[in-house]
Amino acid sequence: MTGISVVVAEDGVLLRAGLVGLLERFGFEVRAAVDDADALRAAVASHDPDLVITDIRMPPTHTDEGLRAAVELRGAYPGLAVVVLSQYVQHSYAADLFGTGEGRGVGYLLKDRVVDVEEFVDSLRRVCAGGTAVDPQVVGQLVRRQDDPLSALSARERDVLGLVAEGHSNGSIARRLFVTEATVGKHVGNIFVKLRLPQTDDTNRRVLAVLAHLAGQGG
Amino acid sequence: MRENGPLTALEAVTWPRLLVSRWPWRSLVYLVSTLPLGLVAAALTLVPVVVLVTRWDAGTLEVSTALVLVVLELLLVVGLGPWFAPALARSERRRLRWVDGRPVPERPRPVDDVSATTDPMPSRYADPATWREVAWLLVLATAAPAAAVAALTFGLLVGLYAVSPLVLLAQRPGDQPVALGFWSVSTVAETVPFAIAGIVLLPVVGYVWTLVAGGAAEAARRLLVGAESEIRAELVEVSRSRARLADAFDAERRRIERDLHDGAQQRLVSLTLQLGLARLDVPPDSRAGQSLATAHDQAKELMTELRELIHGIQPQVLTDLGLPAALAELADRSPVPVEVDAELDSRPEPRVEYTVYFVVSEALANVAKHVGAAGTVRVTVRRASRAGTVTVEVSDDGPGGADPARGSGLAGLADRVAVMGGTMFLSSPPGGPTTLRAELPCGPEGAL
């Protein structure tokens, strides 16, 4: 898992340095670390990285420069994995981003997640492998505000649903909950039946189906 | 204020502690200063009248001269009065503060009278305030110094009576009798009734001075400040200062949020990240590893706390993206299901945005507390550009009966809205539903 080339865009000097240190520590090859969206576009054009990690909120307007750049880059470079970091949960952000490239190779994480170093790197690798990473807090808020359809789920099934939505595979979920993969499979099956979602073994499709379901209920 | 007692000399007259307070002495200063000021006023306005009276007194007044003098006097007062009255009025306003603790605004001007500042000529004669100043000028030239002289003389006499035995004792035999007002005395024994009267009357002097100074000051205030315009000016000033305070608080809150976000939060995230990285290089079951793990976990908790703190001060999503996004986020955090319908064609001013956010946030907290998660809440925000208002409405299907008087945070909410010059309506009949509605002025008209 070494040799993944990365371009980092983050306007906070300290966090940018921290991110670079973290990435290099785990064998990522950091090709450029920039501090605004224009520099990000330029860096991607000249360095052709595998992965882009960008802050959503950057100069000059401090609103969603990073996200717009990310969506653009996803259009311009098919196969480019992108992880956006946000200061807070924002649904429209997530929706915009997951609408690109069928939601493959996309991550939406809260900035605070960076400090859980191994999990953060794990999410990055999942995204680079074409997977999806959704911040647990985003999922948590989505799961929390649905009550009617989700009230049919047991507490354990809700936990599993959360992890599914974050982009974990059955194996990964089993390790986290300290249960067998078969048990997870059973829970997932139950969840999909209860929520009337189409069954699929593809982790990625599964995430999107669950997210779409949750988001759809919210609107 | 200053003395934690009466605000004006006139009020002080009925104050039990008048004689031990500073009021009689302030009044004395006021009365004494009336004399030179009155002299100037008389010199400026009364010369023809004085000439008239002296001539008439001497029997040398002719009708034509009298006419000329009267016309001259009228010209002086009507034509030139408006030119020098304001200067004297200015010193009078300054002087008023000695005996009148209420604010003395500068000369009031009609708010919409722009010409008053650009073109002094016609407005000087057209402005009623000018003529009030001229009227005060005449009072200052006549009645005010007369009253002051009377009050001061009274004080002087009483003082003289009180010390008259001493005066007599200081005399050498054969000196002239001492004049005490209408009487004169030549022995110490004769002075005794005067001394008694003087000592008895001494406290009265304090009252007389304060009363006369207070009366003159009140007349000056009536003429120079004008009771009504003063109250109106004070109200406007109070509203303005309240709005300024609220603005200052808003600005300060945003600054603190920015500082915390750009400074402490960034550093803390970086620190926590470093701790997380350090953990990787140390065996987790070693003592260092355990300490690092604890430090890392504590740093993470602190990060969460700081984030919540910053969010409480000024939600960043509100600053960045405006009301619809911030309200959606608020709805997500609420344990009660919330439907948000916020349609705004443009972003209102920051303080309006924050107030709307604050209203919704408080209303949702109330609903969560009193209604519980069983209900549903609907939040609607609309902007009526033509009316220049933003309206926010929060309704729930709870049991109703919300009462602002019972300290449910609704009163604070109403205050917050009132500072913005807005109004809040609450409808909460027993049995529900409850609707809270706030209308906030917005746009150029919104600025007070």
CATH number at residue A156: 1.10.10.10
Has residue B46 got a pLDDT over 60?
yes
Would you say residue B4 lies in a domain?
no
**Nearest CB to A115 within list B276, B311, B333:** B276
Q: Select from A73, A100, A134 the last residue of a domain.
A: A134
- Count: domains in chain A: 2
Nearest to B359 by CA among B446, B310, B424: B424
Q: Are residues A115 and A191 in the same domain?
A: no
Geometric angle at alpha carbon A203, from A197 and A206, rounded to 5°: 20
Buried b vs exposed e over A151-183: b needs ≥16 C-beta within 10 Å? Answer: eebeeebbbbbbbbbbbbbbebbbeeeeeeeeb
Nearest to A57 among B277, B315, B320 (CB): B320
B433 and B348 together in one domain: yes
Given a contact cutoff of 8 angstroms between Cβ atoms, the answer to whether A108 and A98 are in contact is yes
pLDDT tens, residue by residue, B97-118:
888 887 776 665 543 343 444 4
Tokens standing for residue B308: 């919540």
Whether residues A22 and A110 fall in one domain: yes
Is residue B268 a part of any domain in this protein? yes
Q: Which amino acid is at B88?
A: L
Closest CA to B97 of B33, B39, B151: B33
Backbone angles phi, psi at B441, to 5 degrees: -65, 145
Share of chain B above pLDDT 90, in %: 18
pLDDT in tens, A138-150: 777 666 555 556 6
> Are B384 and B272 part of one and the same domain?
no
Nearest Cα neighbor of B131 from B91, B94, B82 is B82
Q: Is the ipTM of this complex over 0.90?
A: no
A154: contact with B, CB 8 A cutoff? no
* Residue at a domain's end among A134, A157, A184: A134
What local confidence, expressed as pLDDT, does residue B425 receive?
A: 87
In terms of domains, do B17 and B143 share one? yes
Residues B333, A137: contact at Cβ < 8 Å?
Answer: no
DSSP A90: -
pLDDT of residue B336: 82
B406 with B294, same domain: the answer is no
- Tell me: pLDDT of A44 over 60: yes
User: Do B79 and B195 share a structural domain?
Assistant: yes
Alpha helices in B225-314 (DSSP H): 227-259, 266-280, 287-313
Q: Do B316 and A114 touch (CB under 8 A)?
A: no
Let me know whether B303 and B158 are in one domain: no
The whole-number pLDDT of residue B222 equals: 82
Give yes or no: residues B253 and B196 share one domain. no
Q: Which of B269, B280, B332 sits opposite A111 (nearest CB)?
A: B269
**Are residues B98 and B191 both part of a single domain?**
yes
Q: Which of B121-130, B304-313, B420-429 shows the lowest mean pLDDT across its residues?
A: B121-130
Q: Is A116 in contact with B277 (Cβ distance < 8 A)?
A: no
**B249-306: pLDDT as tens digits:** 888 888 888 888 888 988 999 999 999 999 989 998 999 999 999 999 999 999 989 9
Whether residue A90 and residue B317 make contact (CB cut-off 8 A), yes or no, is yes
Q: Which residues in chain B touch residue A57, judged by CB atoms under 8 angstroms apart?
A: 320
- Within 8 A of A68 by CB-CB distance, chain B residues are none
User: Rounded distance, CA B68 to CA B60, Å?
Assistant: 14
Chain B CB within 8 Å of residue A89 CB = yes
Chain A CB within 8 Å of residue B317 CB: yes
User: Which candidate in A19, A65, A88 is best for mutational testing of the B interface (most B CBs within 10 A)?
Assistant: A88
Quote the radius of gyration of chain A (alpha carbons, Å).
17
* Residue B3, in any domain of the structure: no
The reply to whether residue A17 touches residue B270, judged by beta carbons under 8 angstroms, is yes
- Among A61-70, B182-191, B319-328, the minimum mean pLDDT is found in B182-191
How many other C-beta atoms can be found within 10 angstroms of the C-beta atom of residue B38?
Answer: 22
Parent domain of B282? 232-313
Read off the amino acid at residue B381: V
pLDDT of residue A164: 83
The domain total for chain B is: 3
Give A116's contacts in chain B (Cβ within 8 Å). 276, 300
A159 and A126 housed in the same domain: no
pLDDT for B1 beyond 50: no
Residues 347-386 in B contacting A (C-alpha not used; CB under 8 Å): none
The answer to whether the CB atoms of A88 and B331 lie below 8 A apart is no
A115 touches chain B (CB under 8 A): yes
Among B209, B225, B241, the domain-final residue is B225
**Is some CB atom of chain B closer than 8 A to the CB atom of A68?**
no
Question: Which of A94, A118, A134 is the C-terminal boundary of a domain?
Answer: A134
Q: To the nearest whole angstrom, how far is the Cα of B270 from the nearest Cα of chain A?
A: 5
A62 and A45 housed in the same domain: yes
My answer on whether A119 and A151 are in the same domain is: no
B54 and B185 assigned to the same domain: yes
User: Is B152 in the same domain as B185?
Assistant: yes
- Specify the pLDDT at position A218: 43
pLDDT at B4: 61
CB contact under 8 A, B321 and A90: yes
Of B313, B341, B368, the residue at which a domain comes to its end is: B313
- 3-class secondary-structure state, position B17: coil
B282 to chain A, any CB pair closer than 8 A? The answer is no
In this prediction, residue A90 carries a pLDDT of 66
Residues A155 and A117 in one domain: no
CATH assignment of the domain containing A70: 3.40.50.2300
Q: Which of B263, B288, B313 is the last residue of a domain?
A: B313
Q: What percent of chain A has pLDDT over 70?
A: 83
Residues A160 and A100 in one domain: no
* Residue numbers in B near A90 (CB within 8 A): 317, 321, 325, 329
Say whether both B282 and B197 belong to one domain: no
Indicate if A52 and A112 belong to the same structural domain: yes
pLDDT at B229 over 70: no
- Structural domain range at position A118: 5-134
Question: Does A72 lie in the same domain as A11?
Answer: yes
Burial B83-111 (b: 16+ CB within 10 A, else e): ebbbebbeebbebbebbbbeebeebbeee
Pairwise CB contact (< 8 Å): A17 & B279: no
Q: How far is B84 from chain A (nearest CA, A)?
A: 57
Examine the pLDDT at B13 and tell me if it is beyond 80: yes
Tell me, yes or no, whether B2 lies in a domain: no
Contact check, Cβ <8 Å, B332/A89? yes
In angstroms, the CA B220 to CA B136 distance is 7
CB contact under 8 A, A15 and B277: no
Q: Which residues contact A132 (CB under 8 A, 6 or more apart)?
A: A98, A103, A104, A105, A106, A107, A126, A167, A203, A204, A207, A208
**Tell me, what CATH number does B408's domain have?**
3.30.565.10
Which candidate in B273, B297, B302, B327 is best for mutational testing of the A interface (most A CBs within 10 A)?
Answer: B273
Residue A175 in contact with partner chain B when CB distance is under 8 A: no
Assess whether A44 and A102 both reside in one domain. Answer: yes
Give pLDDT tens digits for B131-182. Answer: 888 888 888 888 889 999 999 999 998 988 888 888 878 877 667 777 777 7
Claim to verify: residue A143 and residue A124 sit in the same structural domain:
no
**Is the domain of A19 the same as that of A127?**
yes
Distance CA(B153)–CA(B357), nearest Å, equals 68
Average pLDDT over residues B417-445: 81
Average pLDDT over chain B, rounded to an integer: 82
Quick one: pLDDT at residue B292? 94
What is the pLDDT at residue B147? Answer: 92
B263 and B180 in one domain? no
Does residue A92 surpass a pLDDT of 90?
Answer: no
